[in-house]
Amino acid sequence: MSTSQHSQISIVPGIGRREEFEQFDGTYEPTIGLKAVAKILNCSAEQCRRLAEAKKIPVFRIGYRWKSTASAIVRWREEQLALICHSRPSEER
């Protein structure tokens, strides 16, 4: 037999099981790049890149590109605004 007939496919445990697909609701949110993140946060893409590298915003890397989801960025922005409101002394509110 040739070597190609001896090659086997390794299966990762847990991947492809029906139970896992039943837990997934079938919807997913597409990722957005730093330009879209910058638009949501009303700042420059360069500032977003600095925040991403400092791990200050909820982003991740795919290759050399920073990605996130719009809902994660909006949620983070709302949390940051809530922190600002709660950190001010009561006489300033």
On whether residue 20 sits in a domain, the answer given is no
CATH number at residue 86: 1.10.10.10
Q: Taking the C-alpha atoms of 22, 24, 27 and 30 in order, what is their torsion angle to the nearest 10 degrees?
A: -140
On whether residue 17 sits in a domain, the answer given is no
- Locus of tokens 């949501």: 40
On whether residue 42 sits in a domain, the answer given is yes
Quote the domain boundaries for residue 54: 29-92
In the chain, the number of structural domains is 1
Q: Say how far apart CA 93 and CA 80 lie, in whole Å.
A: 16
Q: Say how far apart CA 81 and CA 41 lie, in whole Å.
A: 12
| Displacement of CA 50 from its chain's centroid (Å) | 16
Q: For residue 10, give the amino acid letter.
A: S
| Displacement of CA 81 from its chain's centroid (Å) | 20
Q: For residue 16, give the amino acid letter.
A: G
pLDDT per position as a tens digit, 25-66 = 668 899 999 999 999 999 999 999 999 999 999 999 999 999
pLDDT of residue 45: 96
